């Protein structure tokens, strides 16, 4: 099924039968990707008066409760409400779901004990392209990103100047295969988050950061249409399912 999307003055064609899912699902147990020092998500059947509401256990239906934290477990999309006193719901502030995106691959640079993504690297990868969304794949890019336990690992992060460059270039939606744009332990400074949402000026309420994606090595760098699907939670963050579509010539 070929769809034609009007983007500014261009008409872009995509094949809706060939989605490229870059999300990591939430699943029960310790093999779920995790960060921020909390336990794994739980997906368990409800128990009423010692009766387990599960078809496997003899019930007529499956009736599971799910306990998770969107920032810690699986792919999620967040708004500026993540770092402000005011409540900014991703469900209320993300009103469009298709964006022209660029997929880039970056090899983090060693800086002391850290690995960072710099403005110079992003400028080289993006050039003068005008995009609403940027998908950043870091290398090495192995499948263990889908199950990695990130707490206390000092993961790769973005330098503040790198985030400011993205804002200057008009990137509204940043998607990364990391738990955060900021250093794991930064004393609460959150320089990258604050720069991306411009918390010292006119707040970019419609801008989002999506974390914990996984971009298969089969997906080449280049331009795509991004369908940023979210669960309708009235919260600063929600589980999400970003899907890429190749742009047809």
User: pLDDT tier at 95 (50, 70, 90 boundaries)?
Assistant: very high
Give me the pLDDT at residue 75, please.
98
CB atoms within 10 A of CB 126: 17
What are 206-216's pLDDT values in tens digits? 999 999 999 99
User: pLDDT tier at 9 (50, 70, 90 boundaries)?
Assistant: confident
Domain definitions of the chain by residue range:
2-25+70-248
CA-nearest of 217, 205, 221, 223 to 78 is: 205
The angle at the Cα of 12, spanning 8 to 17, to the nearest 5 degrees, equals 140
Give me the pLDDT at residue 223, please.
97
Give me the pLDDT at residue 10, please.
84
Give me the pLDDT at residue 225, please.
97
Beta bridge partners of 208: 173
pTM: 0.96
Task: Round to whole Å and give the CA distance between 164 and 143.
Answer: 30
Helix 119-126 to helix 160-168 angle, to the nearest 10 degrees? 30
Task: Round to whole Å and give the CA distance between 77 and 87.
Answer: 15
Give me the pLDDT at residue 5, please.
86
Give me the pLDDT at residue 16, please.
95
| Domain covering 2-25+70-248 assigned CATH 3.40.50.300 in the classification | no
């Amino acid at each position: 099924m070929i769809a034609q999307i009007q983007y500014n003055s261009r008409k872009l064609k995509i094949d809706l039968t060939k989605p490229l899912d870059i999300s990591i699902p939430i699943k029960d147990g310790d093999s779920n990707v995790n960060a921020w020092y909390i336990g794994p998500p739980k997906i368990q059947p409800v128990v009423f008066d010692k009766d387990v509401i599960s078809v496997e256990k003899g019930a007529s239906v499956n009736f599971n409760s799910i306990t998770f934290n969107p920032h810690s477990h699986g792919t999620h999309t967040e708004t500026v409400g993540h770092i402000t006193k005011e409540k900014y719901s991703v469900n209320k502030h993300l009103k469009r779901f298709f964006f022209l995106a660029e997929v880039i691959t970056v090899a983090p640079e060693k800086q002391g004990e850290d690995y960072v993504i710099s403005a110079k690297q992003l400028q080289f990868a993006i050039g003068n392209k005008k995009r609403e969304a940027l998908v950043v794949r870091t290398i090495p890019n192995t499948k263990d990103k889908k199950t990695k336990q990130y707490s206390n690992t000092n993961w790769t992060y973005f330098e503040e100047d790198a985030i400011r460059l993205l804002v200057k270039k008009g990137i509204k939606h940043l998607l990364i295969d990391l738990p955060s744009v900021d250093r794991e332990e930064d004393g609460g400074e959150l320089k990258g988050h604050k720069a991306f949402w411009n918390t010292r000026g006119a707040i970019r309420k419609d801008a989002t950061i999506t974390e914990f994606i996984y971009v298969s090595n089969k997906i080449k760098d280049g331009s795509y249409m991004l369908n940023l699907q979210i669960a309708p939670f009235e919260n600063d963050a929600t589980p999400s399912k970003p899907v890429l579509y190749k742009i047809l010539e």
